[in-house]
């Protein structure tokens, strides 16, 4: 890591190792989710304004943000740019959240930046400021790393919403991207699609280019209004311009506009639309002077890997993990499974949070021949697995509860004997635990 600014260099005297850094970061979770830019703005100021270093692609939306970020970062890296990537949450390791050209941030850097940030937080508290949230601290760490490593450009995934998300302290991005918008986090963002779209389109800044997923009409109307007010150039992917050539459990091949035979490894029809959004972002970057040519678009899309999104972790039997945790995600998962395994039988491993709209998720799977193994996620907001199993049984679904994720996996594999497909879905943290079971096999 290169030398840090003198403004915060002395805070490195507050030495921390990686475990201490994780304890510090994890301890800030108690400050919860508090949208607003005051805390992150002051924190960044004390750290020397690291957000003013690289150029950015800014990505907001409800579903598909991580996949689109992976596609765009892959395209930029294939074009020869030193490309940062900031996403959330992680599946296996904390360091997954902050990467440069596919390489995760070193643990030594995590510890050093955590020490610097802790020093800045102490200064903030001495001034009477509120303590930054966990996500604000992670955002500051990403900004520091991307600046100090002299990234040419970084792809930023919004944490929650957009307008008042901590990533939105950046100046005008090279491209704004709005992925699929649906009903989620309604307690924070609003109870209507228009309100949620308004919050997410808050990342759009005057004169910037905007690439958008073909969301529902109410959401697109808000995005168009925001772009008109900001004088921003908007391109919305048109599904009618996509021709699907091949789609199986290995890859997908499709045509989009002038791009013929694009190939992606990410599965599910929605990923073709996500890839098209990334291609539009690449076109906008090229218009802004980046040397992003067709070869880079092809290579970046094909190389992109994003764990936990319709990911096949075993083929005997077939086991899939997917981060569907809201009704829109469940709808996309159900459509993809029906397309990939027509007439198939399924065993679902499910664990949900009590405050999520799970009652609107499971009906998408009622037409499947399936059984459920339920489990209690590791969260204070978790719906007990037994309660979920009873809820499903009351609706005519075959369900049984397991005492742990490991037990749920063993039960699902036993029930899948005879050719059923096992699919675990829910929050990324939950499916990360399922995924780990197969890494140990």
**pLDDT of 205-214, one tens digit each?**
999 999 999 9
Tell me what the mean pLDDT of segment 324-331 comes to: 89
CA-closest candidate to residue 266, choices 234, 311, 297 = 311
CATH of domain 311-439: 3.90.190.20
Question: At the fourth CATH level, which superfamily is domain 6-303?
Answer: Mur-like, catalytic domain (3.40.1190.10)
Residues 6+ apart with CB under 8 A from 316: none
| pLDDT at site 409 | 95
The reply to whether 311-439 shares the fold of 6-303 is no
Rounded-to-integer distance, Cα 103 and Cα 246, Å: 31
Please give the C-alpha separations between residue 295 and each of 76, 77, 237, 326, in angstroms, as whole numbers.
Answer: 11, 12, 20, 35
Given a cut of 50, whether residue 184 has pLDDT beyond it is yes
Q: Is the pLDDT of residue 13 over 50?
A: no
Considering the entire predicted model, what is its pTM? 0.91
Identify the burial level of 150 via C-beta atoms within 10 angstroms of its C-beta, where 0-12 means exposed, 13-18 middle and 19 or more buried: exposed
**What residues does each domain of the chain span?**
6-303, 311-439
Percentages helix, strand, coil for the chain (3-state, rounded to 5) are 45, 20, 35
H or E segment to which residue 117 belongs? helix 107-126
Give the count of beta carbons closer than 10 Å to the beta carbon of residue 27.
10
311: pLDDT strictly greater than 60: yes
Binned at pLDDT 50, 70 and 90, residue 441 comes out as low
């Amino acid at each position: 890591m290169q030398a840090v600014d003198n403004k915060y260099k002395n805070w490195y005297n507050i030495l921390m190792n990686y475990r201490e850094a994780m304890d510090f970061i994890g301890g800030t979770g108690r400050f919860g989710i508090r949208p607003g830019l005051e805390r992150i703005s002051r924190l960044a100021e004390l750290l020397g304004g690291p957000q003013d270093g690289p150029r950015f692609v800014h990505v907001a939306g409800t579903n598909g943000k991580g996949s689109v970020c992976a596609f765009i970062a892959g395209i930029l890296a294939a074009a020869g740019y030193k490309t940062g990537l900031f996403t959330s949450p992680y599946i296996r390791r904390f360091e997954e959240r902050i990467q440069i050209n596919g390489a995760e941030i070193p643990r030594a850097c995590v510890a050093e930046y955590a020490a610097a940030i802790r020093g800045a937080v102490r200064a903030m508290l001495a001034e009477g400021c509120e303590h930054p949230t966990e996500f604000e601290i992670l955002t500051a760490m990403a900004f520091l790393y991307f600046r100090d490593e002299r990234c040419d450009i970084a792809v930023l995934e919004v944490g929650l919403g957009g307008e008042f998300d901590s990533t939105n302290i950046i100046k005008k991005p090279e491209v704004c991207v709005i992925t699929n918008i649906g009903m989620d986090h309604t307690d924070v963002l609003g109870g209507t699609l228009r309100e949620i779209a308004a919050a997410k389109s808050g990342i759009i800044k005057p004169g910037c280019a905007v690439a958008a997923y073909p969301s529902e009409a109410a959401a697109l109307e808000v995005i168009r209004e925001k772009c008109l007010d900001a004088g921003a150039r908007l391109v919305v992917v048109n599904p009618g311009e996509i021709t699907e050539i091949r789609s199986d459990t290995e890859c997908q091949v499709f045509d989009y506009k002038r791009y013929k035979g694009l190939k992606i490894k990410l599965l599910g029809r929605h990923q073709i639309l996500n890839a098209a959004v990334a291609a539009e972002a690449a076109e906008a970057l090229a218009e802004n002077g980046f040397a992003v040519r067709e070869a880079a678009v092809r290579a970046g899309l094909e190389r992109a890997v994003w764990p936990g999104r319709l990911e096949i972790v075993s083929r005997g039997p077939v086991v899939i993990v997917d981060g569907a945790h809201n009704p829109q995600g469940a709808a996309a998962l159900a459509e993809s499974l029906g397309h990939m395994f027509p007439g198939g039988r399924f065993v679902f491993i499910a664990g949900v949070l009590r405050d999520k709209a799970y009652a609107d998720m499971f009906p998408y799977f009622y037409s499947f021949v399936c059984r459920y193994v339920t489990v209690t996620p590791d969260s204070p907001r978790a719906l007990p697995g037994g309660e979920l199993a009873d809820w499903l049984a009351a609706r005519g679904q075959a369900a049984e509860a397991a005492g742990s994720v490991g037990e749920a996996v063993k039960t699902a594999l036993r029930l899948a004997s005879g050719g059923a497909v096992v699919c675990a879905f829910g929050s990324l943290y939950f499916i990360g635990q399922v995924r780990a079971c197969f890494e140990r096999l």
